[in-house]
Amino acid sequence: MTDPVVGLVLEGRYRLEERLARGGMSTVYAATDLRLDRTVAVKVMAEHLKHDPSFVDRFTREARAAAMLSHPNVVSVSDQGSDQGLVFLVMELVRGRTLRDLLQARGRLTVAEAFAVLEPVLSGLAAAHRAGIVHRDIKPENVLIGHDGVVKVADFGLARAVAGTGQTSHTGGVLIGTVAYLSPEQLERGRADARSDVYAAGIVLFEMLTGHPPFGGDTPLAVAYQHVHHDVPTPSEEVPGLAWQVDELVARTTRRDPVVRPLDAGAFLADLEDVRSDVGIPRVPVPTGRSSAGPDTIRPTNRPRTTSPQRHPSAPGDGTEVLGASSRRSGSRTSMLPGMGAGPTTDVAGARPAPPRPRPGVPDHIRRRRARFAVAIVLLLAITVGAVGWWFGSGRWTTVPELVGLDREAAIGQLQEAGLEVGSVEEVFDEVVPVDQVMSADPEGGDAIRGTDVDLVVSKGPERFAVDPALVNRPIDEVRAALAEAELPLTFTEVLDYDNDVPEGNVTGFDPQPGTQLARDTAVTVYVSRGPAPVAVPALIGVAAADARATLEQLEFVVEETTGQSSEVEIGEVMAVDPPAGQEAPFGSTVTIQVSDGLPQVTVPDVVGDDVDDATEELEALGLRVEVQTFIAGSTVRRQSPGAGDVVRWGDTIYLLVIA
């Protein structure tokens, strides 16, 4: 059944020629870029997903992520848009197969072949990680192997910047990605960084060596469980003879704890090179899976290949080309000079004619010299007339080559080959076109006189700005002046923040971090120190005075100590703190602790003559014990011991003598 999309021209530029592949989320077509006359790949989002904002965002994110990268091992994306109800992005067309196709055809690869495939994959990922991009969906389907042996990483649809949320892509609560290659942290917490790509690349290495992923199961949940709870087995268990260093490399890159994996793809690549050196693994060409029986028949564009010269049917197959009846013949050849008759000819039999009869009186050598001179003059005149005629005819005209999309050096080379001169070269920033690639030319095409100047506009790549890291820990007034002088087109917002190390009024940091390459109008937060944060006074009642002092001094408080008496706190322990426990006090302020000297002292009141019950109540209210001795039945206190005015300790006993 014919695909109804084939034949459409998107945005008046991309004509869809043939369907290359179809997946659950998108379909890839080979297309012709009518503006640049080149073949590209166009990925079109599936009809049922184009109204889902999350999937449209994934498409847009893929275009932006890939456009940030310019690396020979990353599939380049050049455009993105929507037209005629189709959401699409335009990317480089790679003629070849995926690593999945190769593994299905071969079963497994040798160690040397696996390393040959993985090295460019890690090189492309390292470039992405340096740019702050995590791929998050490394698998054999996203590794493309061209017919020329060039390996490229594709499909940055799940990629996110490291500085972003770090969350693995979700749609409607469903985690997107191939579970056989997802790291434990992606499965457990939905978080991914460069080490998650390292894990997936390690799984791919295991699969190349053994022919299958390390974990299998009846359901994705079963596979995910094994990733989270089991270590990846060593490849040598299935492929005897593998060096232990290769096993260790697979184990190191697929640790369940991301902390002990290589930090990023660059570190993984360095480890791989160390293993190659230690084991002596030879460098071999990337396996493409192509047959060696003959050249590839797939053309890089949709234009017909130039017809090669036909061989005569009766020719014996010696490589002789039939060029046409008016061409040079093998039997005879005739030469004519302008202004002269026919020169000497060779007949069919090959016999030379008789030489001309010499003129009388002229020596032969003089005659030959004059003849050679005359021939030279005639040839010179003929060449001059021909050159002048050619120049004023078609010779002074040339064709301006198509330069858009070429890098600067290649464009200059093509201009020089066409006899044209390079005029001005203007460099401009562009978020999509890679650095040093030609964006436009003037004149942009057609015929031009040789020597004409062609002006070029060349991309400087994305426009980026960075805050100087040296501004951290400098006074905010100096930082404001430095930022104003730098004229950075960024939006700065100041936020006060406590900091125990940076003096009050100095800048403690920026978000994003200083030195980060930022696009125009990016919001940047400037954190300004409010000085040290206030500290809550700890609970110290009942703590030994020495321990309380040490605790407060660790919190940078200045400690003052007083003494007091307490009936509840033992001698030498803290009985009171000022400010009280739980209250916040300024960093480095003074905290006073009151240390117990023991029981408080009480001055005995005069209760002689008082009613014994009233006297007892008054004394007990002061914390004293009372013993009553009655001599003759009565209710009036006649004597007390200790006497009135004596100082006793809290809890001592007062004796009362009651007499009628």
Query: Is 469-529's fold the same as 601-659's?
Result: yes
Query: Residue 32: helix, strand or coil by DSSP?
Result: strand
Question: What are the distances in angstroms from CA 44 to CA 36, 144, 539, 658?
Answer: 20, 19, 66, 111
Return the CATH number of 601-659, one of 3.90.170.10, 3.40.50.2020, 3.40.50.1100, 3.30.10.20. 3.30.10.20
Could you give the angle at the alpha carbon of 514 between the alpha carbons of 509 and 520, nearest 5°?
120
According to DSSP H, which parts of 233-321 are helical? 244-253, 265-279
For the question of residue 137 being annotated catalytic, the response is yes
Which segments in the chain show pLDDT lower than 50?
A: 159-176, 291-362, 394
Q: CB-hemisphere CA count at 13 Å for 14? A: 29
Looking at residue 66, what is its pLDDT?
67
**CATH fold of 96-279:** Transferase(Phosphotransferase); domain 1 (1.10.510)
The rounded distance, in Å, linking the Cα atoms of 249 and 277 is: 13
Backbone angles phi, psi at 3, to 5 degrees: -75, 120
H or E stretch at 18: strand 14-22
The rounded distance, in Å, linking the Cα atoms of 573 and 561 is: 11
What sign for the dihedral angle of Cα 164, 169, 175, 180?
Answer: negative
What sign for the dihedral angle of Cα 212, 213, 214, 215?
Answer: negative
The rounded distance, in Å, linking the Cα atoms of 312 and 575 is: 118
What sign for the dihedral angle of Cα 201, 203, 208, 209?
Answer: positive
Residue 62 CA to chain centroid, in angstroms?
A: 12
Looking at residue 3, what is its pLDDT?
82
Picking from 576, 574, 657, the residue whose alpha carbon sits closest to that of residue 615 is: 657
Span 469-529 CATH architecture: 2-Layer Sandwich (3.30)
Looking at residue 331, what is its pLDDT?
36
**Could you tell me the residue ranges of all domains in the chain?**
9-91, 96-279, 397-459, 469-529, 535-596, 601-659
Whether the ω angle into residue 579 lies within 30 degrees of 0, i.e. cis, is yes
Q: What is the pLDDT of residues 177-228, one digit of tens each?
A: 578 999 999 888 778 899 999 999 999 999 999 999 999 888 888 898 999 9
Strand spans (E) along 460-568: 491-497, 507-511, 523-529, 535-536, 558-564
pTM: 0.45
- The CATH number given to 397-459 is 3.30.10.20
Catalytic residue among 52, 79, 83, 137: 137
Written out in words, the top-level CATH class of the domain with range 535-596 is: alpha beta
Looking at residue 396, what is its pLDDT?
60
H or E stretch at 655: strand 653-659
Query: Residue 167: helix, strand or coil by DSSP?
Result: strand
Q: Does domain 9-91 have CATH number 3.30.200.20?
A: yes
Could you give the angle at the alpha carbon of 269 between the alpha carbons of 263 and 273, nearest 5°?
130
Looking at residue 111, what is its pLDDT?
96
Looking at residue 364, what is its pLDDT?
59
The rounded distance, in Å, linking the Cα atoms of 99 and 209 is: 13
The rounded distance, in Å, linking the Cα atoms of 11 and 31 is: 13
